[in-house]
Amino acid sequence: MSTSSLPLADRVAIVTGAAAGLGRAEAVALAERGADVVVTDLGDMTETIAQIEALGRRAVAVSGDISDWDLSDTLVETAVSTFGRLDIVVNNAGITRDGMLFSMSQKQWDDVLNVHARGHAALGRAAGAYWRELAKSTGGTTYGRIINTASEAALTGSAGQPNYAAAKSAIVSLTVAEARSLGKYGVTANAIAPRARTAMTAGVFGESDAEGFDPLDPACVARFVAYLASPRAGSVTGRTFVAYGAMVALVARPSIEHVFTAGGAAFDDDSLADAIDAYEAPAAPTLADELAALEIAAGLRS
């Protein structure tokens, strides 16, 4: 039985991209709190399974490509047939195929959008259908948690990753749609934009040179994922968080900055151009500036 203040005893989770890195850390964090886990990836998941079972929890691996729409049905069916239920979905699997938009191939674009956007949507659909039917059969609500993986690239843009930024932006919007469509069944959906030192980010973060605590340790993000998966987070839904190290930043929802109105029934060409030309946007830090300031305040950078 888990002794954590975020107990997930006898809950069942699916974690994608769980062979290593962040996905493995997330699967282990859920198991540490009492969950049984279905893990999926294209890589070898032996070590992930071993770590989960060493905690006294059960795990099963399903190999496959998350961009395969039908794999998601298999994952949900495996969770239910093996462990009797499904409570948590952690969409983590991802790839990068970097390049500038003007030199990007269709395959680079499609590969990234398929794994990220289609993969997230497919598993959200399969799990959502399961939870909807479960809630309808009981005449009430059920317990469902979707944790999607976005990126700061979706929030601030990434010139060398237009495919990745687009896919992650789609995931942010998908998360809001899931929260709105599944909330009445007892399901929450949230997105995280994590920073973690993994094989996929090796070219960005490199090796740790920190002594002791490493703010880019995937376990830091995994702990927050465990919170979002827990009963304590039942009122948190449709939100996006930047998470790493000792920091979690809740990203504000989009808001209207300014409204331009026509003097008459509608704008003509000149009045529209004049109204927009006359507007001076208020000086404000960018989201990247705000995150940098938070990192300094949290002691994550100087």
**CA 246/CA 206 separation, integer angstroms:** 19
Q: Active-site residue 244, yes or no?
A: no
Out of 168, 227, 230, 244, pick the active-site residue: 168
DSSP, collapsed to helix, strand or coil, labels residue 61 as: strand
Q: Can you name the residues that pair with 193 across neighbouring β-strands?
A: 242
228 neighbors 190 (Cβ within 8 angstroms): yes
Q: Sort strands 144-149 and 187-194 into parallel, antiparallel or unpaired.
A: parallel
Out of 2, 151, 158, 230, pick the active-site residue: 151
Out of 130, 143, 164, 227, pick the active-site residue: 164
- Spatial neighbors of 114 by CB under 8 A, at least 6 apart, are 67
Listing from the earlier edge strand, what are the strands of the sheet with 12-16? 59-63, 36-41, 12-16, 88-91, 144-149, 187-194, 240-244, 247-251
Q: Active-site residue 151, yes or no?
A: yes
Catalytic residues, by residue number, are 151, 164, 168
